[in-house]
Amino acid sequence: MSPRWRGKRWTLGGLLLVVGCMLGLVAASVPLYRLFCAATGYNGTTQRADAAPRRAVSDRVITVRFDANTAPNLGWEFRPLQNAVEVHPGETKTVAYRAVNRGTTAVTGTATFNVTPNQAGLYFDKLQCFCFTRQYLAPGEGKDLMVTFFVDPDIVSDPNDRDVDTITLSYTMFRAKDQGGGGQTASLSSGSPVPLR
């Protein structure tokens, strides 16, 4: 084989390798982005914890506000049962959101979430949340959906969060792509049909 053809083979092989690497990066970009957000709290991504902190609770007080949004095609009413709570960093709190299926067919929903200000996401830890599983509601059915959280005491020593005295936890409930089956729920209620007040 002539040196000219050997050079073209190397060039073609190099180009195929570059294209393969680019396709691999595209395929891995979404999971890598999610890992990055979870590790850094980027864009208000909250953390998931297995246990509450064992350290002493700080005397600093942070107000946590709650926000609820519903996708237009879901047919649910969705709202927090309380607008805000005051917490000390390290203190565990449990709050509830209320979801009621106002449609005529059973629907499975799923929630996305974030906190603002964005830099507080690194210190906002959830122990349990309805957003970890899909929520199934029959027509007219209502449930209290629980979230247990704490604000990590490390927020007190972070100079970037020195002025954070209010954190807003926001959820948006969407229709799950796969509507099959009853789905799992993370709710702690009887699930009886109850209207929103």
Helix (H) or strand (E) holding 7: helix 3-40
Residue range(s) defining the domain that contains residue 29:
3-40
CA distance to 15, 22, 23, 31, 164, per residue, from 27 (Å)? 18, 9, 6, 8, 37
pTM greater than 0.75 (yes/no): no
**Number of folded domains that form the chain:** 2
**Does the residue 103 lie in any domain?**
yes
pLDDT, tens digit, for every residue of 134-148?
999 999 999 999 999
41: closest CA among 156, 121, 114?
Answer: 121
pLDDT reported for residue 188: 36
143: domain CATH number?
2.60.370.10
Domain check: are 162 and 131 in the same one? yes
pLDDT tier for residue 170 given thresholds of 50, 70 and 90: very high
**Does the residue 191 lie in any domain?**
no
CA 109 to the chain's CA centroid: 14
pLDDT, tens digit, for every residue of 98-150?
999 999 999 999 999 989 998 888 999 999 999 889 999 999 999 999 999 99
pLDDT tier for residue 94 given thresholds of 50, 70 and 90: very high
**Does the residue 196 lie in any domain?**
no
Domain check: are 53 and 130 in the same one? yes
